[in-house]
Structure 1
Amino acid sequence: MQKIRTISLCGLLFVTSFSSQAITPIDTKENPNQGWGGSVGIGLEGESGTKDEQEYAANLILRHVKEQRTALLLSNYNYAETNDVKDEDDLFVHGRWTENNFFRPMLDWELFAQYQYDKFDDLSSRELLGSGVRWRFEDKSDEGKLYTSLGAGGFFEHEESDSQNEENNNWRGNFYAKWVWDRADAFPYTLYGQLYLQPVLDDLGDLRATGSGGIKFGITEALALHLEAEVEYDSEPFEEAEETNWEYAIKLSYSFD
């Protein structure tokens, strides 16, 4: 019965769940095992007849842990066509190296690099390189485990407009909070979220902010169902872009931790 329910749910999700997938992946594994681990999701959606539509999405979390050091790769790609006209094309790649307990217990050092583009949000490319510190907190009880991280640092950023001959080079601060709640009862689930604030250091009114979160339900030991949402805000976007963008998703993940 459990196998039938799982197969049915997987089929339903692959038909319906990938219409919006631009949400930045969140690594919910707070105490990963040594060695390689992560998760992957691949999906497609199509429609033919009055409207021909194809949508494709792929996301990846890849992690390697060796003693106190963690190398993490987050990636998300989305592509869509309607009546043979491309109407979605965006890529996000984020790499991070973390040395846990670098300064003192639960106080870590991070180094990160990122590349992204979004052809339909007037972003030809954005590259950044930065560093910072991270504080980690754990709270365990009979109901579950709460993991919280607070980060502070900065990065250099270069971005180019897709429609205008315009480039920006900025030094930005990077302040974030992340939380993961693992519920441990007869109906376990994981609730997670993160918030980033990234002001330009010499113009604090130029602010970029991102908030995202979701809930994850285990289907099998490796498969999980995610319900997620994300909002992005940029106080000074390129001319053809909106200040605020919302995304939502219902998706499957396969974990190989």
Structure 2
Amino acid sequence: MSCRLLPAAVIGIALVLIAAPRPAAAQIVNVQGVLAGDPEPGWSGQVTVTADWRTGNTDLALIGGSVTTLYRHDRWLGLGIVRGEYAEATGARLSEKTFEHLRGRVELDRRWMWEAFGQHEYDAFRRLSVRALAGTGPAVRLVRGERARLIAGLAYMLEYEALDDRMGVADAGETSIEHRLSSYLTGSYKVDAKIAVTQTVYVQPRIDDPADLRLLSETALTSKLSSWLAVTTSLIVARDASPPDGIEPLDSALKVQLGVTF
């Protein structure tokens, strides 16, 4: 794929997924967007904070944030991500979730890499008391130009889930252990020195039941305000073919984040 074709591919994937019906919830969280480019040697990362406090006609309290840390040395790359969010309006919870991810990557040659990862997640509104997973597999650089990057990966993933025990649902308190394939395609394109577009697509079928499929697309536009400050606008569309009882299969979100890089 040439560098000229990559922006068109990014826009095309985004438009197809925008046309999908309206939201609810799936269970993939994108971590590959951070790795779409080539991180600088040594330590780097980003801190984002979200806060909203309102009183009067609307009583709302929202706080959230994330810390992303990267370390690159020679052929080795390490990634750590921690995220959290809590929101409450007029005494009712609107959001309550945490997320932690660790990933290691080693370059086998100029194109091929091997990855291993582990993850933990809690999300009250997707009925996840615990989601824990671990996986490993190869990745390959398809494009490595000055302005464009494209990477594909495929991994075996072992996943454990425990659902909440809320009243009125058929699967209250259920636990499961599943074997999945996790494949992704992630690319980035630098429009200029300050603006970059990143697109990531995940496909995660269950190995013993491929119809139990999870999909995610995230399109992000990042604008650098300075050497240490950036604004990222992200469109996320995800689908879970077999969600927990009471949870819709489709989820979408439009997010704007201000991040401090280091």
TM range (shorter): 0.7 to 0.9
2:186 maps to 178
Match of 1:196 among 196, 202, 221: 202
1:60-108 per-residue CA deviation (whole Å, 9 max, x = no partner) reads 21011111101101222111011132221011211100001x2x32100
1:159 Cα deviation from its structure 2 partner = 0.4
1:63 maps to 70
1:160 maps to 162
SS in 2 for 1:241: coil
Residues 26-175 of structure 1: pairs in structure 2 closer than 5 A: 26-27=33-34, 30-100=37-107, 102=108, 104-140=109-145, 145-162=147-164, 163=166, 164-175=172-183
Give me the whole-angstrom Cα distance separating, in 2, the residues matched to 1:165 and 1:254.
39
| Residue type at the aligned position of 2:142 | F
Number of residue pairs aligned between Structure 1 and Structure 2: 228
Contact between 1:138 and 1:145, CA under 8 Å: does it hold in 2? no
2:230 maps to 224
Give me the whole-angstrom Cα distance separating, in 1, the residues matched to 2:143 and 2:44.
21
1:22-72 per-residue CA deviation (whole Å, 9 max, x = no partner) reads 974531562222221111101201110122101111012101111110110
Q: Which has the higher contact order (CA 8 A, sep 6+)?
A: 2
Q: Evaluate the alpha carbon distance shift between residue 23 and residue 154 of structure 1 in structure 2; reply closer, same or farther with a 3 A threshold.
A: closer
Identical residues among aligned pairs (%):
22
Q: Which ranges in structure 1 are unaligned for 5 or more consecutive residues? A: 1-21
Contact between 2:133 and 2:160, CA under 8 Å: does it hold in 1? yes
TM-score, structure 2 as length reference: 0.82
Q: Which ranges in structure 2 are unaligned for 5 or more consecutive residues? A: 1-27, 167-171
SS in 2 for 1:239: coil
Q: Evaluate the alpha carbon distance shift between residue 214 and residue 245 of structure 1 in structure 2; reply closer, same or farther with a 3 A threshold.
A: same
1:125 Cα deviation from its structure 2 partner = 1.2
Which structure features the higher share of strand residues? Answer: 1
| Residue type at the aligned position of 1:157 | E
1:138 Cα deviation from its structure 2 partner = 3.3
Give me the whole-angstrom Cα distance separating, in 1, the residues matched to 2:259 and 2:29.
14
Give me the whole-angstrom Cα distance separating, in 2, the residues matched to 1:95 and 1:129.
10
SS in 2 for 1:27: helix
Contact between 1:225 and 1:252, CA under 8 Å: does it hold in 2? yes
